[in-house]
Structure 1
Amino acid sequence: MPTINVSFQVLPQVPGGDTYPVVDRAIAVVQQSGVKYEVGPMETTMEGELDELLEIVKRAQQACIDAGAKRVMTLVKIDYAPQGVTMEEKVGKYRHAAK
């Protein structure tokens, strides 16, 4: 199975409205998974095999519930190509630009 990219954003419904600690729990799931990832201000992007990445998204949703969210809406983007696709090929030229 090719290496692909999955980006996701969790939108937890939290009593009191303080969502950051709940989102942090979802990001911790990604960090502990061992896959290559990048956290952005609006979503987290991962690189790996589709089935594994979707399983991480499911665990991240559950982590939000476990952290006190009453409901979680999750937006998922999948960039799939049979030959594979990497984060580096998409944004590497911007990372290596002079500061």
Structure 2
Amino acid sequence: MLVAFSVAPSGTGRSDGSVHDAVAAAVRVVRTSGLRHRTTSMFTELEGEWDEVMDVVKRATEAVLPFGSRVSLVLKADIRPGRTGEIDAKIDRLERALESDADPSPEA
């Protein structure tokens, strides 16, 4: 299972709207989880089994709670039983398709 999620506090009281300290707390949870992961400017991706991924998302969300009066969580999941390594494989397939000289139309 792949999950892309974003978690951020609101009601932080910060005039500049910055949430980097809260996001850092969430990313620390992800990085110590032992799961394959990738963090970008907007989302963190995790790969693993359902229960372990959801546990990390829950703990990352809980790590953000002290930084505001509420927390926003956005989550997208790709559930494909029996597949592993998709956090990199999906990107590899995309790059190969972009490099291919083949006609990209589905009828070809």
Fold shared, TM-score > 0.5 on shorter chain? yes
Aligned pairs for 1:10-29 (under 5 A) are 10-13=7-10, 14-16=12-14, 17-29=17-29
Higher normalized strand content (fraction of residues): 1
**Which segments of structure 1 move beyond 6 Å, counting only runs of 4 or more?**
none
Give 5+ residue unaligned stretches, structure 1.
95-99
Distance between the aligned counterparts of 2:30 and 2:13, measured in 1? Answer: 24
Helix, strand or coil: the match of 1:18? coil
Shift of 1:82: 2.0
- Rg larger for: 2
Partner of 1:81: 80
Helix, strand or coil: the match of 1:83? coil
Distance between the aligned counterparts of 1:83 and 1:29, measured in 2? Answer: 26
Give 5+ residue unaligned stretches, structure 2.
96-108
Shift of 1:83: 2.4
Q: Is the 8 A contact 1:15 1:70 kept in 2?
A: no
Partner of 1:97: none
Q: Aligned residue pairs: how many? A: 91
Distance between the aligned counterparts of 1:62 and 1:82, measured in 2? Answer: 28
Percent identity (aligned): 32
Partner of 2:5: 8
TM-score computed with the length of structure 1 as normaliser:
0.83
Aligned pairs for 1:64-75 (under 5 A) are 64-66=64-66, 68-75=67-74
Cα root mean square deviation, aligned: 1.6
- Deviation string, structure 1 residues 24-75 (Cα, Å, up to 9, x no partner): 1001100011111000111000111111111111101110013x22111101
